[in-house]
Structures are given as C-alpha cells and as structure tokens.
Amino acid sequence: MGRPISIEISTHKKKKPLENERGFGIHFSDHMFIMDYSEGQGWHDPRIIPYQPISLDPAAKVFHYGQTIFEGLKAYKTGDGRVLLFRPQKNMERLNRSNDRLGVPHIDEEIALEALKALIAVDQDWIPEESGHSLYIRPYVIATQPALGVDASTDYKFMIIMSPVGNYYPEGVNPVKIYVENEYVRAVRGGIGEAKTAGNYAASLKAQEIAKEKGYSQVLWLDGVHRKYVEEVGSMNVFFKINGTVYTPALSGSILNGITRSSIIQLLQEWNVPVEERVISIEELFAAAKSGELEEAFGTGTAAVISPIGELNWRDEKAVIGGGVTGEISSKLYVTLTGIQRGLVPDPFGWMVEVEI
Amino acid sequence: MGRPISIEISTHKKKKPLENERGFGIHFSDHMFIMDYSEGQGWHDPRIIPYQPISLDPAAKVFHYGQTIFEGLKAYKTGDGRVLLFRPQKNMERLNRSNDRLGVPHIDEEIALEALKALIAVDQDWIPEESGHSLYIRPYVIATQPALGVDASTDYKFMIIMSPVGNYYPEGVNPVKIYVENEYVRAVRGGIGEAKTAGNYAASLKAQEIAKEKGYSQVLWLDGVHRKYVEEVGSMNVFFKINGTVYTPALSGSILNGITRSSIIQLLQEWNVPVEERVISIEELFAAAKSGELEEAFGTGTAAVISPIGELNWRDEKAVIGGGVTGEISSKLYVTLTGIQRGLVPDPFGWMVEVEI
C-alpha cells in the first residue's frame, strides 16, 4: 500500500475484564490505531501504538464545532479460533459518506480496513469467545486544527479503538419498552441524520434520559417535519411486522443507513418474507396494534443486532406488541445473524471477512 | 465563593500577534481556565494554568457523541485603559440553557463569571486596543468520560480560552453576499438549534463550503419543516428592514437566542424604530426586494456585531438590498453597539461590566 503501518507494541499488558465485567465500551484493548491528516500532506503516518491518552490543543475544532464522524463494527471469534468481521467494507463506505456530509477528507477504504485488521491481529487475545460477546471496534475521525473560525478543519486524526463487549442490552433479546418521542427531534431531511456523526447523538441524549426516567429503554424518533412518521429507535433502525409483511422506514436522508438494517432486508427477501421500505406513520402502527395486526417490532444495529420491542407508549397510550414476548421473525433473524457472525451457520451472502491472525 | 481559583502563572510568555496578524481565533493568550466535573463530586478544582494541550482518553465522549456546549463573548479595552465585558451574565445564563438541552450539569454562573474575570486579569495585556479589535473569550464544556454507551457523560471539563481578534469579516462593515440554502438544513424545532452546541455548527459546514465556492460569504438558513421561513444567516441572527419596520425571525426553538440580537431589539425600541419578532418567509423577502421595500438586511452576532447583507441569492434569483451599500440603521446600530462596547458612547441599559485589573 506504499504507506506501511508502523507498530509499537505495548510493554505493559492491561488486565482483561472478566465475562460479567465487560459491559459496553468501558474497557479498551492494549493498542490503538492513529493516522494524521494535514492540508497539503494528506493522510499520513499510519501507526499502531499502545492505547494512551491523546493530547489536543484546547482550541481543536472537535471541541467547538463537532466536526467528527465514527463507525461501529465487531470482531467475532469462532469455535475453531478464526476471527471474523461482518461486512467491514460497508462501514468504510459509510465512513466516507459521513466524511462527505461533514466536510472531512476521504480516507482510503482499503488502508482503513488494513489498519483495522492489523490492529485486531495485534490485540487478538482481546476478542471474547463467549456467545453474544465480541470485540467492538470504533473507527472515528476528529478535527484537530486549533482555530475558532466556523469552517472545515485543515487537520484531522483518524483513529481506531477496540473494546471487548458483552450484550449491549442487559435485557438481552427480551422485548424492551419504547417511548414515542413527541417533543424532541433527532434529525430532519437536509440535516446530518444520515451521517454517523456526534451531533445526532448529542441531540438524542436529553430525550433518552427523560424516557429512562419514565421507565422506557429507548426513544422512538418521529420525523422532524410532520412529527408523524417513524424514523429510528434510540440509535437503531426499526422494523415492524404488520399482517405478515415486514416494514422499515425508507431512507429519507434523516435516517441512518444501517448495515444490520440492509442485511436484514436481504435475509427476509432470501426467506421470501415480504419486506418493504416505506414511510410508516405512528397512527398506522397504533391502529395495527389495536386491530392485532402489529405482530412484531424490533430495533436493529451493530451493538444489539436485534432488539425486540414489546411495548410502545405514544402520548400515554400504550400498545403491547406480540403479547410482550419476542416474535418468531425477530428470533429467527437474531439467531441467523449472530450465527453467521460467529461462523455457526452458513454465510450465503459472503458477508463475513476473515482476519488473518 | 468557597472554591478559590488557583492560579499558576506561565514562565514562558508567548509572542503576541501584530494587529494585522490577528485574524479570528488563531492565536491564544498565555493562560486558560479549567474546572472539572465528576459524578458525586460535582464541579471542582477551578484553576488558571498556562495555555497548554489537554490530554483525553481516546474514548472520551466528546469525540464520539458531541456532548459539548460553548459560549462566545469579548473583552474590550477603553481609551482610558478600562476593561469591559458586554452582558456576560447573559452568556452564562445561555451556557446553562445549552447545558440543559445537552444533559450537561449546571455550572454556577457566578463562579463561571468570576473565573472569566480572573483569567482576563491575568492575561490583560492580551486585550487589543485598536478599534474593531478585542479579546474573544470562549467558555466551553466537553464530556470526558471514556465510555462508548450512548448516554450523558459522568465527567466534564469546563474551560475558558481567549484569543486576540481583529474584525471577523475581512470585508468589515461592507455588505456581504448571502446564499439562501435550499438543500441543507441547520436545525429544526425539537432539535438542538437553540443550544450553542457543536452539532449545529458541524451541520452547517458543508452548505457553507458550497456557498463559498459559489462566491457567497454566508448561507441564509431556512426552517427545516417548510424550507420557507428564514432562521439564521451563517452563525448569526438576521434582521430585515421592510418599509420602515425592522423584522427578525421569532425564537422558534431552532434559532439561537442571540445576545446581540436581543440588544439590537432593545436599542431599536429605545430609538422608536418599529421592530417585530415574527416568522418571515423567503417569498416575502424577495417580494419586498422587488417592490423596493426591503431597505436593509444584516446579520448580528458577537464575532461580527453587525454584518450588512447586500445581496441574497435564492434559487439563482438575486435580490440586491439597499443598493448594495450599508443602510442607515445598520450603520447606526454598528456605531452605537461597538461604541457602547468600547466605552465611547453612553451605556443607557447598563450592559457593560467592568473587569477589575
């Protein structure tokens, strides 16, 4: 690749968390990847170094104007000791789409993927082997130019950090209760909702906190224009099975183009389960819940894979879905996707990429 | 205050930029203020230290979920050597309103103001004396907890940095050309547009870049719901004088509640110039421009104070405003506000706060 990755091995190995201590994104592996960008020089100096604090000028643009994007994916260890990644090229493609929206210079997707694999190889003993556990990988870019003018940064860092994780939701694959958000809005068409960037998550924290206080796991986001059409659930895409057909909100510009989302659509098509991407109103969902046609609902994302929804609360009206138990399609999708990811079931789409270790 | 600010004076004094080298937010003074927050302990350890890089864990939440807010204000030096701040309490009140929206714990406004004054006193020789120049002050909060779960951080840093600045717009008080944005949206009701937080600025960079390439200084933002009503211009509030009355978009939840904005409304009322806060459609503006009733337009903010608008481009239709020269009200507001800020004209509202140096 012309730009070999330099590797500095840590002399101090950290203590690894036990299975029940893992949580999500709390513990980090022994090493990290960094590559710098500066105007004129482009991306340069790709390196794996011991995991350590980074030093930034207090005026670095990331602190002030949020010019930052990220990705999330997982490495899985199979029973026979292989290390697998789930569609990592898709993450790198989206990384660059997010970069476009935020005015961040493109990153060579092959170099990013090579960096990711090299880092995993160095820290391979950090990949958990227990079912449902994995090594969560967080590639991200931050703007580092120390200047307060409101324009795109001249300098950036692309970094990758990794964290051994348990199940994202302590509830596991049991259905969660979701609060339909009427006041706060996550994103709107023309905004940055489609990009995986910090601002969307910052915008979601307050509503999420209020929902938690009310006893709900996540918020269901409605569109910013009409406050009527379903967009996402928490930081996941969302699916509804109504009268035998599975629906998910069409990509409108304010919805994240989830890799788990598109994989689920492919799986359902493969299984000949009717699946449609279209606008879905909250009234329609509640009407379907009342008539008994809303059979299943679930969120999808890298962290949780599938998170069944057992109850929706919209303006204090409650809709119980599928009797509050995990539905058949939700279960089958969870078992199949996690099975493919861990090399337990065939991978008909060639999704998994093996990391040489 | 029970929590005295410790002060460590820098042994190395930086070279100050010359008048023509200042720019905006490029050079920073010799010291900075930091105060830490951790759950249980609250805000603690307020300190002034030499300006220096800060060290953060790569998983610090600010890098990933953009939980950060900021303020901007200026210190002015008067002809008789006094140091004045413009309505700094208003910045601290807004700081906490932004904190609320982003799930950041409140900061004692008196302590923040005291910290700001102490820092200015230490770096008082950094305040430029030339007309139109000042010391720009940037208080800000960043989330520092090293954890990738999407929820509010348990740890924060509140910091203040300062930069000697020239005029924000090289064009000075000459009218600028503005591009009306049809595709991209800065913020929407229910979102974070009213908060001074990184995500809003991140969302604006792309459109701003495109406008610059087309030869325009700034973007005029339309509302996210109808893409019809005027919201802000670049990172400023906006005013229009139509047929003798001055209009500014009403605070809708997606518009920043500007301190310069509210000061201008007060000044106009004092002068018996009719002023109204209401929704303003872009069609209305173009109709008024065609009929010759759109007499003046200007952006307002801490950085530029008043930035007259000489031309609007909406869908390739151009409206020249006031013959492309700075209007009477724009000029009078600029002269009066900057005069009050530098202690050159009476301060009828008691806006200025003197810093003991």
Summarize pLDDT for B176-186 with one digit per residue, the tens: 999 999 999 99
Which structure tokens are listed for B196? Answer: 């001074």
- Please report how many Cα atoms fall inside a 13 Å half-sphere around the Cα of residue A172, on the Cβ side: 8
A178-229: per-residue pLDDT in tens? 999 999 999 999 999 999 999 999 999 999 999 999 999 999 999 999 999 9
What residue of B is the nearest CA neighbor of A137?
B148
Would you state the pLDDT for residue A258? Answer: 98
User: Which of chain B's residues have a Cβ under 8 Å away from the Cβ of A142?
Assistant: 63
- A40 assigned to some structural domain: yes
In a domain, A84, yes or no: yes
User: Both B39 and B91 in a single domain?
Assistant: yes
Give the list of residues 6+ apart from residue B80 with CB closer than 8 angstroms, or none. Answer: B343
CB within 8 Å: B25 and A183 = no
Q: Write down which residue in B112, B132, B165 finishes a domain.
A: B165
Inter-chain contact B184–A190, Cβ cutoff 8 Å? Answer: yes
The b-or-e profile of B139-157 (16+ CB within 10 A means b, else e) is bbbbbbbbbbbbbbbebbb
A76 and A189 share a domain? Answer: no
Residues A149, A264 within the same domain: no
pLDDT in tens, chain B (357 residues): 456 999 999 999 999 999 989 999 999 999 999 999 999 999 999 999 999 999 999 999 999 999 999 999 999 999 999 999 999 999 999 999 999 999 999 999 999 999 999 999 999 999 999 988 999 999 999 999 999 999 999 999 999 999 999 876 655 578 999 999 999 999 999 999 999 999 999 999 999 999 999 999 999 999 999 999 999 999 999 999 999 999 999 998 999 999 999 999 999 999 999 999 999 999 999 999 999 999 999 999 998 899 999 999 999 999 999 998 999 999 999 999 999 999 999 999 999 999 998
CATH number at residue A83: 3.30.470.10
Mean of pLDDT over chain B = 95
Does the structure show a pLDDT above 80 at A1? no
Distance from CA of A54 to the nearest CA of B (A): 5
| Domain span at B82 | 6-165
Q: Does A283 touch chain B (CB under 8 A)?
A: no
Per the structure, how many domains does chain A have? Answer: 2
Q: Which residue of B has its CA nearest to A225?
A: B225
| Same-domain pairing of B147 and B196 | no
B346 in a structural domain:
no
Task: Find the CB nearest B66 among A54, A161, A202.
Answer: A202
Residue B353 lies in a domain: no
Q: Mean pLDDT, to the nearest integer, of A153-176?
A: 86
When computed from its CA atoms, the radius of gyration of chain A, rounded to whole angstroms, is 21
A216 and A304 in a common domain: yes
Domain assignment present for A170: no
Q: Is residue A254 part of a domain?
A: yes
Longest dimension (CA), chain A: 63
A231-269 pLDDT, tens per residue? 999 999 999 999 999 999 999 899 999 999 999 999 999
d(CA A350, CA A207): 38
In a domain, A355, yes or no: no
Q: How many CA atoms lie within 13 A of A238 on its CB side?
A: 28
Q: Which residue has the tokens 């104007």?
A: A65
Q: How far is A291 from chain B (nearest CA, A)?
A: 31
Tens digits of residue pLDDT in A279-318: 999 999 999 999 999 999 999 999 889 999 999 999 999 9
CA angle (A336 as vertex; A331, A340 as ends), nearest 5? 150
**Burial zone of B260 (CB within 10 Å; 0-12 exposed, 13-18 middle, 19+ buried):** buried
Partners of A23 on chain B (C-beta within 8 Å) are 149
Q: Quick one: B124 and B152 in the same domain?
A: yes
Domain closes at, from B104, B130, B165: B165
Asked if pLDDT for residue A3 goes beyond 80, the answer is no
Tokens of A309: 């929804």
CB contact (8 A) between residue B198 and residue A142: no
pLDDT score recorded for residue A126: 98
Q: Which residues of B touch A147 (CB under 8 A)?
A: 25-26
Q: Say whether both A148 and A18 belong to one domain.
A: yes
CA A257: distance to chain centroid?
10
Q: Tell me, yes or no, whether A332 lies in a domain.
A: yes
Rounded to an integer, what distance in angstroms lies between the CA atom of residue A17 and that of residue A287? Answer: 46
Tell me whether residue A38 is exposed, middle or buried, using C-beta atoms within 10 angstroms of its C-beta: 0 to 12, 13 to 18, 19 or more. middle
Task: Give chain A's mean pLDDT.
Answer: 95
**Residue A151 and residue A217 in one domain:** no
As a whole number of Å, the end-to-end CA separation of chain B is 19
Residue A305: CATH number of its domain? 3.20.10.10
Judgement on whether residues B139 and B193 belong to the same structural domain of the protein? no
Tokens linked to B247: 């209009």
B133 and B18 both lie in a single domain: yes
The residue out of A165, A186, A216 marking a domain boundary is A165
C-beta of residue A115 within 8 angstroms of C-beta of residue A71: no
B138 with B284, same domain: the answer is: no
| Same domain, residue pair B204 and B115 | no
